[in-house]
Chain A
Amino acid sequence: MLFVLTNEKFDEKRHKADFLESCLNRNGAGAYSYFEGRVRNSNEGRAVKALEYEAYSELAEKEGTEIVRESIAKFDLVSAICIHRAGYLELGEISVWIAAAAPHRSESFAACRYIIDELKKRVPIWKREHYVDSDPEWVNCANRNHRELSESEYYSRQFVLPSFGILGQNKLKAAKVLVIGAGGLGSPALLYLAGAGCGQVDACDFDSVELSNLHRQIIYTTENLEAPKASLASARIRQQNPFINSKSFSLPNNAKDTQVLFKEYDVILDCTDNMDTKLFISDCAIAANVALISASVRKFEAQLHIWMPALENSKPGGQCLRCLWNEKDTLAAQSCVDAGILGAVTGILGSMQALEAIKYLVGIPSPLANHICLVDLLSLQLTQIATTHNEHCPVCNIGSSSLAEAKT
């Protein structure tokens, strides 16, 4: 038997023993690969509680057998088998099991891959997902794509980048990013962070969408007017990339809770537009010892900062936004409401914030660590200015000494 369709619960021990038994020329098989698919607790952001498989068994067995036979010929296998479940399956149960034995490992790996990929395309088996909070649905049948979305295909143009690859992608998948301000900077930042595959991309904003936002806040449409931004943005990026998670909330209004919140993240993006909030975010990020990427835009000019967490900072003494500015500068810093702003300008800076976050998370060195980048989009000039520890900065100096206390 090359392909088995069964209603019985999978018996790992028995099936593996049977497979070894089937390898008549065992001494010719130097490599055994096994693939098992199991029932997962979520799909495209929806919580799944169980699965049901229905098969057109006559044709499924014919087509499944044909696929395994093809793999044996194609990869010169000693033996191969595919066992697929039908019926009702609980979370964690094995839904499909593939075994391939070959003289060498590359063929046995490739055969497992070939069998599962072809099976998903060709074998008449249908999956019905039972959700925690809605009615069951047949996968691939309701106004979605005609095939299951493939995560590796989603990132296929990104994998091939130098210093990226599967390792970089896995780092992004494990990363948690918080974007504060889902406006002109936050729109592109959220979309690109989600698209790149950061595993958790959360959005903070307490505002609702206004008509005067739409020329630069490209994550929203006229249909979203007056609706709260953060939850819209979060839902939108989950559509952009169904392989990530995102939630939305308002920033706590006190420093203590905000610091606790920040500690859950690998990097914070400050996409807000006023100096008071920026200083508050910077103070909390220093206390939480988390990387902060901050941008401020004024007309055609902008500043981009990255503040590294203290432990990764090779120089003595921390650095933060407050080393440079304080509340007295707030009055001088006009927000874009008064100064005017173009969507393309916040678009570029928000994209730069996303890019710096991706570089930081993947481990691609950035010249921006402890520098300010001055961006002039009229003359198209980028200027990097080194920042230094300010021994009078109340936050950094208190921050580093309390860090020292915490260590002893």
Chain B
Amino acid sequence: MNRAIKSVHLRYFAILREQRGLASEAVETNAPTAKDLYEELQKTHGFKLNCNNLRVAVNDRFVNWSEELKNNDTVVFLPPVSGG
């Protein structure tokens, strides 16, 4: 597990953007995976949706929650979609 501190760029959409009050931010984290990062953010910001309600994309590509994060990754947590 890569517990090194890395810098990650986050983008927020829809209800997460509103709950965070920001569309994007850069964070320093030692979270090894996307799931660890979301759980960390959930504690800090009180996001109501859980991992199993969300999907995650890293660098504009859907990935599994176990995806290991690297320095300078762009991470997006996607609430349940409702287009159409």
List chain A positions with a Cβ less than 8 A from chain B: 37, 53-56, 58-60, 62-63, 84, 95-96, 116, 119-128, 138-142, 146-148
Contact = CB atoms under 8 A, between A and B. Distances in A.
A147 B78 contact: no
Sort chain B's interface into a size bin: 20 to 34
Given A62-B60, A141-B49, A126 B84 contact: no
Secondary structure of the A contact surface, majority rule: mixed
Contacts of B60: 58-59, 62
B54 to A, nearest CB: 10
B79 A140 contact: yes
A139 B11 contact: no
A138 B14 contact: yes
B79 A138 contact: yes
Interface string B32-67: 000000000000000001000100010011100000
A126 B76 contact: no
A140 B81 contact: yes
Contacts of B53: 146
A234 B20 CA distance: 37
A157 B18 CA distance: 39
Contacts of A84: 83-84
Given A53-B83, A56-B78, A139-B82, A126 B49 contact: no
Contact of B84 (A59, A96, A128, A141): A96
Contacts of A140: 79-82
Contacts of A63: 62
B77 to A, nearest CB: 10
30 contacts: A37-B84, A53-B83, A54-B14, A55-B13, A55-B83, A56-B13, A56-B57, A58-B60, A59-B61, A59-B62, A62-B60, A84-B84, A95-B84, A120-B83, A120-B84, A123-B81, A124-B76, A125-B81, A126-B14, A126-B81, A126-B82, A127-B82, A138-B15, A140-B79, A140-B80, A141-B15, A142-B15, A146-B53, A147-B80, A148-B82
